[in-house]
Amino acid sequence: MITPRLRGGHEVTQPVHVEGAEPGDGIAIRIRDITVTAIATASGHDTSPSGYCLGDPYVAARCPTCDEVWPETHLEGIGQNAVICNKCGNPVKPFEIVHGYTVVFDETRQVGVTVSKTAAEEIARNAHHYAALPDKSVQHPILVFAPADMPAVMVRMRPFLGQLGTMPSIAMPDSHNAGDFGAFLVGAPHAYGITAEQLAEHKTDGHMDIDAVRPGAILVAPVKVKGGGVYMGDMHAGQGDGEIAGHTMDVAGSVTLQVEVVKNYPIDGPVLFPLVEDLPPLAKPFTAEERARAERLAKSWGMETLEELAPISVIGTAANMNAAIENGLQRAAKLLGMSVPEVRNRATINGAIEIGRAPGVIQVTFLAPLSRLDAVGLGKFAREQYNL
Ligand SMILES: [Zn+2]
């Protein structure tokens, strides 16, 4: 976010070609491992000072002094004015932290604590060491800002990927590959401005910030280019639903994934099979005991069989929460061959709407008929994930 040459905010990996993946397919991604390597990170709630961007601080950072867009910069010292324009020598800060923290993690990467100003400044002076960024990373570590407005707070580490999926079918700033942030591209004054139709056609919703995208989960992403182009980034040490501060604890780390092509995937957005513990209470698979009780009840009312059900979480994204819910409901209806009112009923009595990120990433999570999942090639992932 504080590296003006980056055209999208984050650094993400180069896309990986998946043999056999064609537009219209899906790619199932099993998240085998996420290991955080960062020793410390900093974050906070931000503001975007005026003059430091061309329309959008995530996409087109600008030096207000020499007017260079995407200026090359270097670090001088520490603090919020440490990022300096190479051309004119003045600070460039598309983002400023209004309330922030520096957090250090324990050796086992299970807990962290926020530190004092003195400690934050010591860490800031050796930021590259504590950030442990990948060798080819070009970003300025956020640790140099040394925020410390909230010391001595304990945190849990619960790492996940803020970005995981397939590449869009046009060049698009990584942070805007979703319906909410993507809406800022519509009619934008910079080089990445597009129409609403182009956004819908080309985005893949890879930037979801859904905290259930963590080790053990299976994500199915839509394919919009030959080979899919699986990429990832924006690893978070942890985050509550909503990422309501606008930013969370971004960390460096390593990831192990296993991929598999799903032919003829019917929708244009991702589907998640979360860990059982991440499912809303009503969307958890029924136990054998519950099933036996329900079957006895059904029989007494003249029904010989009950539907086989499996959890699924369909992602919806749009400019705001209401529109994102509508998008998720429509995708679920299309995927499973049922009406939107039926999805509404099932998500009400056997599931929930969950928030990924404000302002507009949601999950429609519910128990769906396993036969419908089988019909679109997703039943096997539900069986594997939930021991059905
Ligand atoms: Zn400048």
Asked if 367 and 310 touch (Cβ cutoff 8 Å), the reply is yes
Query: What is the C-alpha separation between 328 and 388, in angstroms, rounded?
Result: 25
| 221-241 burial code (b ≥16 CB/10 A, e <16) | bbbbbebbbbbbbbbbbbbeb
| Distance from residue 76's CA to the centre of ligand 1 (Å) | 14
- pLDDT, average across residues 75-88: 98
HSE-up of residue 117 (Cα within 13 Å, Cβ side): 3
| Distance from residue 184's CA to the centre of ligand 1 (Å) | 25
Q: What is the pLDDT of residues 349-361, one digit of tens each?
A: 999 999 999 999 9
Residues 6+ apart with CB under 8 A from 213: 31, 160, 161, 162, 164, 219, 272
| Distance from residue 63's CA to the centre of ligand 1 (Å) | 5
Phi/psi of residue 67, nearest 5 degrees: 70, 10
What is the sign, positive or negative, of the torsion defined by CA atoms of 142, 63, 198, 260? negative
| Distance from residue 84's CA to the centre of ligand 1 (Å) | 8
Spatial CA neighbour of 95 closest among 139, 53, 140, 138:
53
From the number of C-beta atoms within 10 Å of its C-beta (0-12, 13-18, 19+), residue 144 rates as buried
Asked if 338 and 255 touch (Cβ cutoff 8 Å), the reply is no
| Distance from residue 91's CA to the centre of ligand 1 (Å) | 8
| Distance from residue 263's CA to the centre of ligand 1 (Å) | 49
| Distance from residue 86's CA to the centre of ligand 1 (Å) | 7
Q: What is the DSSP string of 11-30?
A: -BPPPEE-TT--TT-EEEEE
Query: What is the C-alpha separation between 156 and 149, in angstroms, rounded?
Result: 19
| pLDDT of res. 51 | 94
Sheet with 40-47, edge to edge strand ranges: 40-47, 96-105, 111-114, 154-156
| Distance from residue 80's CA to the centre of ligand 1 (Å) | 16
Whether pTM exceeds 0.85: yes
What is the sign, positive or negative, of the torsion defined by CA atoms of 380, 381, 386, 387? positive
Residue-averaged pLDDT of the chain: 97
| Distance from residue 89's CA to the centre of ligand 1 (Å) | 6
Asked if 202 and 307 touch (Cβ cutoff 8 Å), the reply is no
Share of the chain above pLDDT 90, in %: 99
CB atoms within 10 A of CB 69: 16
| pLDDT of res. 349 | 98
pLDDT bucket at 134, cuts 50 / 70 / 90: very high
Residues 6+ apart with CB under 8 A from 239: 158, 160, 209, 211, 248, 249
| Distance from residue 358's CA to the centre of ligand 1 (Å) | 33
Q: What is the pLDDT of residues 267-326, one digit of tens each?
A: 999 999 999 999 999 999 999 999 999 999 999 999 999 999 999 999 999 999 999 999
